[in-house]
Structure 1
Amino acid sequence: MDIKDIVDREFDTYDETTPVSKLRGSFENADRKALLITRDGEFEGVVTRRDVLSSHEKTSRKARSLVRAVPSVTLDDDVREAARLMIAGDTRLLPILEDEALVGVVRTDDLLRTIQPFLSVLETADVATTEIVTVESTTSLGKALATFRTERIEHLPVVAEGTTDEVVGIVSLYDVLEFVTRELQRSQGGDPDGHMDASTGGNHGGFGAREGESADLLELPVGNVMVDTLGTTRLDETLDDVLETMLEFGASSSIVTDDRGSLVGIVTKTDLLESLTWSEDRQLPVQVFGSELMTDTTREGLAERIESVTRKYRQMRVLEAKVHFKEHKERLRGIPLVLARVRLYTDKGLFVASDEGYGDKHAFSLALNAIERQILEGKTHGRSKKRADPEEAANVYGWWLSE
């Protein structure tokens, strides 16, 4: 299934000189996740709703101060590639470029609606996160923001005070940022954007307080902002039904409960997108350079070793893995000295390490050990009910259907 089947040719663009205040208004007046930014008529990048809400830039600043590059696709790319790029680029909108000209966009919801019939071959249990980070309804907004930042997540199930699985709601990063930004704009005596960074909770003073209301919004409980857990799902429910519920309620996630109604997991639209990027054996695809030096390892073995390491740390998702092998002249008992370089692009950041060993297996193990130490220490190098047509289903999830 190609991009041309889901392209949206009706889109608005904003010049890089557009004031941030106008961008904020565009997000408030429409259900948008990102805005397209141009420079001298040519596509430059996007400004996301999250970036605008969490920015401490003054509203007089221009769009260029927040613009960031995102991957692009062509009309001939398929939906799998689009899903992979959305996850890797942390974006819910991809520009479609033809001869460097912007001709359309692909949006997450449009992509998911198109592949919805094929999601019926998967269940919630196949993609849900079951090691869950939660907050209590009495947790402060400031602490919730800190949790979003440290855990690098965007959704938090809310549980009743003193419990771990009695779910009473859900709160998203957007919910908190929008609430804080809206209340600060309504307050008197200052420009909230000049005094507060809502993404970190940093308060630099200067904004006034609404009458009868505390100026320190971040001390308010999450219960003031959370939404009810409408349309929960079960582990054995098919993903096409899960997506239908998300679309019905305009949600980007769904709480997973057991037969007693207790919290057991969470599934997001990102999880649905990620299912499209699985390889046939659902194993991490590893790009290998110098594969002719692989005498004691296999591509599958490298993937298994990498996943065994990253699986230890809060279900870290590897978006892309690259392994480089280079042989040196030195030998030990006929075994060449090999340099192994491992690069892991993950939802927690970029990890890179190199090491030397005698033989490909030894070198790779040493480099992967260095990667594991980086992960443990957090040392990143920067910054995841229509029946399907059988033929199309085979193209999208045929490997699953054949099991």
Structure 2
Amino acid sequence: MDVTDTVDRAFDTYDETTPVSKLRGAFETSNRKALVITRDHEFEGIVTRRDVLSSHEKTSRKARSLVRPVPTIGPHENVREAARLMIAGDARLLPVLDGEDLAGVVRADDLLRDVQPHLSVLDAGDVATTDVVAIEPPTSLGKALATFRTERIEHLPVVSDEDGDEAVGIVSLYDVLEFVTRELQRSQGGDPEAHMDASTGGHHGGFGAREGESDDLLELPVRNVMVETLGTTTPDESLDAVLETMIEFGASSSIVFGEDDSLAGIVTKTDLLESLTWTEDRRLPVQVFGVDLMADTTREELAERIEDVARKYRDMRVLEAKVHFKRHTERLRGVPLVLARVRLYTDKGLFVASDEGYGDGHAFSLAINAVERQILEGKTYGRSKKSDDEARDSRVYGWWLSE
């Protein structure tokens, strides 16, 4: 099944020079999770709702200060590949390129609706996260934001006591960010950046002390923001029914209750997307380019080595692996010099490394060793280098750092 019928060809784009304030307004008047950014009418990247809410970009700044690169797909890409790239790129929107032209976009919600009947083969228990991080109603918004950041999650069930026997609500990262941003703007009478000094960040009147107000907001309990546990599910409910419930309540997650009505897990739309990427045996799929150069290794051996690296360093989940082999004319005792390029999309970021060796096995070993070093050092491919001021602006009141 491909994405042909899922592609939205009537989509809006925003030039990289668009003010961030206009992007914020576009998100406020729509349910979009991401906006497409162009440069000279060519695709540049996307800006996400989370990036806008979790930053304090000054009104003079443009969309280019928040743009992030994401994978692109063709108009007839396989659904499994599209879902895999959404997860790997931490994006719920994929640009569709027809040649070099931006022909449309595929959104995660549209993709899930189109494949909904096929989700019936799995149950909530097959994909649910059972080792659930939960908080209690008195927990402060600041503590919730810190938990989102450290646990790298976007949903937190709210339980009535420390034992977690009764889930009374759920709070999402978006809930907290939107609440804090809205309340700050309401109390300040407009754009919280409108009276900031461009060089020092100091205030020039007009809306009071932002620091004190934001601190006060972060001390509020999550019960002020959480929503009741509507649209819950059970481990044996089929995933198509789980998705239907999410759509009905406009939710991006569903709490799973066990037989004794206690908290048993949580299912998110990301979990549903990930289920689309599973192969029958759930082994890591490795795309190999230059297969004819593989004399020393097999696809299975490449997958095994990559999975060993993922388990060894930071316990990563590899969502997609690509290995490119290219032969050079140079030889050593009849063995050609080969360039190997390893590209890993993971839940920790994108890692890419290349190296040369005599034969495919030697070249791959050197390249994967280079990837190991990147993973150990936490150096994801293409991470932007920000100035100290830009890094401070990407924080939400000292708690949430958009990554």
- Which of the five TM-score ranges fits, normalised by the shorter chain? 0.7 to 0.9
Please give the TM-score of this superposition, normalised by the length of structure 1.
0.76
Distance 1:281 1:51, change over 3 A: same
**2:55 maps to 1:55:** yes
Counterparts of 1:208-247 in structure 2, within 5 Å, are 208=208, 216-247=216-247
State the alpha-carbon separation in 2 of the partners of residues 303 and 352 from structure 1.
16
Further displaced range: 152-161 or 20-29:
152-161
Q: Which residue of 2 aligns with 1:252?
A: 252
User: What's the secondary structure of 2:4's corresponding residue?
Assistant: helix
Give the C-alpha shift of residue 330 in structure 1: 11
TM-score (norm 2): 0.76
SS for the counterpart of 1:170 is strand
Q: Can you list the C-alpha shifts for 1:353-397, whole angstroms capped at 9, x where unaligned? A: 8999xx9999999998997897677565666xxxxxxxxxxxxxx
- Judge conservation of contact 1:55–1:193 (CA < 8 Å) in 2: no
For residues 88 and 260 of structure 1, the distance between their equivalents in structure 2, rounded to whole angstroms, comes to: 36
User: Residue in 2 aligned with 1:286?
Assistant: 286
SS in 2 for 1:113: helix
**C-alpha separation between the residues in 2 aligned to 1:53 and 1:101?**
30
Provide closer, same or farther for how the CA distance between residues 294 and 52 of structure 1 changes in structure 2, counting only shifts above 3 A.
Answer: same
Residue deviations 1:308-365, cap 9 Å, x none?
A: 66468897421223568999x999xxxxxx9998654311234578999xx9999999
The one-character-per-residue Cα deviations of 1:95-117 (angstroms, maximum 9, x if unpaired) are: 22224333322111111111100
Task: Give the direction of change, closer, same or farther, for the CA distance of 1:175–1:102 in structure 2 (3 Å limit).
Answer: same
Three-state SS of the structure 2 residue aligned to 1:247 is helix
How high is the sequence identity, in percent, across the aligned residues? 79
Is 1:40 the counterpart of 2:61? The answer is: no
Matched, 1:116 2:119: no
Q: CA deviation digits over 1:287-315, x for unaligned, max 9?
A: 45787898997543553565466468897
The match for 1:102 is: 102
- How has the CA–CA distance of structure 1 residues 306 and 258 changed in structure 2, closer, same or farther, with 3 Å as cutoff? farther
The residue that corresponds to 2:80 in the other structure is 80
Query: How far is 1:225 from its partner?
Result: 1.1
Deviations 1:271-297 (A, max 9, x none): 111122222321111345787898997
Bigger shift: residues 280-289 or 140-149: 280-289
**Contact 2:188-2:208 within 8 A present in 1 as well:** yes
Contact 1:209 1:215 in 2 (8 A): no
1:137 maps to 137
* Contact 1:341–1:353 (8 Å) recurs in 2: yes
Q: How big is the shift at 1:228?
A: 1.3
- State which drifts further: 305-314 or 154-163: 305-314
User: Structure 1: which amino acid aligns with 2:285?
Assistant: P
Say what the alpha-carbon RMSD is for the aligned residues: 3.9
Aligned residues: 372
The alignment partner of 1:3 has SS state of: coil
What is the alpha-carbon distance in structure 2 between the residues aligned to residue 6 and residue 144 of structure 1?
Answer: 35
Gap change, CA 1:194 and 1:306, over 3 Å in 2: farther
Once structures 1 and 2 are overlaid, which stretch shifts more, 255-264 or 289-298? 289-298
- Separation in structure 1 between the aligned mates of residue 94 and residue 321 of structure 2, nearest angstrom: 22
Question: Do 1:125 and 1:236's aligned partners in 2 also have CA atoms closer than 8 Å?
Answer: yes
CA distance in 2 between counterparts of 1:178 and 1:268 reads 20
**What does residue 395 of structure 2 align with?**
none
Partner of 2:14: 14
> Do 1:56 and 1:195's aligned partners in 2 also have CA atoms closer than 8 Å?
no
Any idea what SS the aligned residue of 2:188 has?
Answer: coil
Post-superposition offset of 1:252: 0.9
Deviations 1:116-150 (CA, angstroms, capped at 9, x unpaired) = 00111111122112222222222221122122222
